């Protein structure tokens, strides 16, 4: 979960990921007071943040662009929260606010915790609905079905949910969150345990993917989305910035091919902005990179090379079809792509 509070303190005190304070759900029956409704809500993300990138990918795969509008925050935030300095006059054109924190304040003043993405905001009231990054994508897949595009894939099929849940639990603990525990460790033992956990889990996942194109079943699921958002950042930031450097993603034949396969699948790579990713981690985390220098590498050209994963079979979208072209106003600038 991309948070804004205490950037300089990262790496100087024990790391603990906060839970989502606002866990209301937007559902088909509106049981939390927030019914699914086209045009009512705005998804606020940073393309730098892996937790927000899950929602970006899910929204695109499911074809929810016309139903759930998108706000993209500046990757270099400050202690006042994620800011809309990429937009004209530094304001989100729909919500009319300069900082995401204003939507949090409209919901609850002086709440405990930092301002995080992804966040879903109720447009009419300007109030935050949820910042529950674990649940948002599951609800997009299961509660927003009436607004899915024709041919949308089933990203959380009921018959596979228990297996998906088991797989993503390990991915979260050791990979998604593990790289942060390693990167923000304050002591050698803490770092070594977290780093070892990252690579142990990655090696297990590589074994699982050696003869299966996708993590669960024969099509893309929530599990693949959650692993991809860490893998796509691995060599660019986690290997160096977070000291997860036993090996690079490009040095693991199975995971590198798997990540390229997903990157080249519509809905994945077309949501990734490497420029945002690198500038956020290296410029914001001043507690572990006080100079703010952003490295020139790695070379991104490899992301577009053949992966040959088709030989394993599987259908990326299951019974569905690929999403259409990216809306022009949501395209990643050329300097953020290979």
Where in the sequence numbering do the catalytic residues fall? 49, 180
Q: Are 48 and 2 in contact (CB under 8 A)?
A: yes
> How many CB atoms lie under 10 A from the CB of residue 71?
23
Q: Residue 7 gets which letter from DSSP?
A: G
> How many CB atoms lie under 10 A from the CB of residue 290?
10
Cα dist. 185→149, 180, 241, 243 in Å?
A: 43, 8, 12, 10
Residues 274 and 259: their CA atoms lie apart, in Å, by 15
Q: Are 83 and 90 in contact (CB under 8 A)?
A: yes
- For 202-237, b/e burial (b = at least 16 CB within 10 A) is beebbeebeebbbbbbebbbbbbbbbbbbbbbbbbb
Helix axes 253-263, 188-209, angle to 10 degrees: 70
Residues 288 and 72: their CA atoms lie apart, in Å, by 25
| Closest among 67, 58, 34 to 142, alpha carbons compared | 58
Q: Which two tokens stand for residue 92?
A: 């989100």
- For 109-137, b/e burial (b = at least 16 CB within 10 A) is eeeeebbbbbbbbbeeebebbbbbbebbb
> How many CB atoms lie under 10 A from the CB of residue 303?
19
Q: Residue 275 gets which letter from DSSP?
A: H
């Amino acid at each position: 979960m991309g948070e804004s509070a205490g950037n300089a303190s990262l790496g100087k005190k024990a790391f603990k990921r906060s839970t989502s304070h606002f866990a209301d759900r937007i559902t088909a029956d509106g049981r939390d007071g927030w019914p699914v409704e086209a045009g009512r809500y705005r998804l606020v993300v940073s393309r730098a943040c892996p937790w927000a990138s899950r929602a970006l990918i899910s929204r695109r795969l499911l074809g929810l662009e016309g139903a759930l509008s998108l706000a993209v925050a500046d990757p270099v935030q400050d202690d006042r929260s994620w800011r809309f300095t990429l937009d004209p006059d530094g304001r989100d054109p729909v919500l009319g606010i300069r900082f995401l924190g204003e939507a949090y304040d409209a919901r609850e003043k002086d709440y405990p915790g930092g301002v995080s993405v992804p966040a879903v905001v109720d447009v009419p009231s300007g109030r935050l609905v949820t910042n529950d990054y674990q649940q948002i994508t599951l609800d997009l897949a299961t509660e927003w079905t009436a607004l899915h595009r024709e041919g949308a894939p089933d990203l959380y099929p009921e018959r596979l949910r228990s297996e998906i849940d088991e797989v993503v639990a390990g991915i979260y603990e050791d990979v998604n969150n593990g790289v942060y525990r390693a990167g923000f460790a304050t002591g050698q033992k803490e770092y070594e345990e977290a780093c070892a956990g990252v690579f142990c889990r990655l090696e297990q996942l590589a074994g699982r993917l050696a003869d299966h194109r996708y993590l669960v079943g024969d099509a893309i699921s929530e599990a693949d989305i959650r692993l991809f958002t860490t893998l796509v950042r691995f060599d660019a930031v986690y290997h160096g910035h977070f000291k997860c450097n036993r090996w690079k993603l490009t040095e693991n034949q199975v995971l590198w091919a798997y990540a390229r396969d997903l990157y080249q699948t519509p809905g994945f790579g077309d949501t990734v902005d490497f420029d945002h990713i690198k500038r956020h981690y290296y410029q914001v985390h001043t507690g572990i990179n006080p100079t703010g220098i952003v490295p020139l590498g790695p070379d991104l050209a490899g992301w577009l090379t053949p992966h040959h994963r088709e030989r394993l079979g599987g259908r990326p979208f299951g019974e569905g079809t690929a999403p259409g072209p990216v809306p022009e106003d949501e395209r990643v600038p050329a300097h953020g792509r290979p």
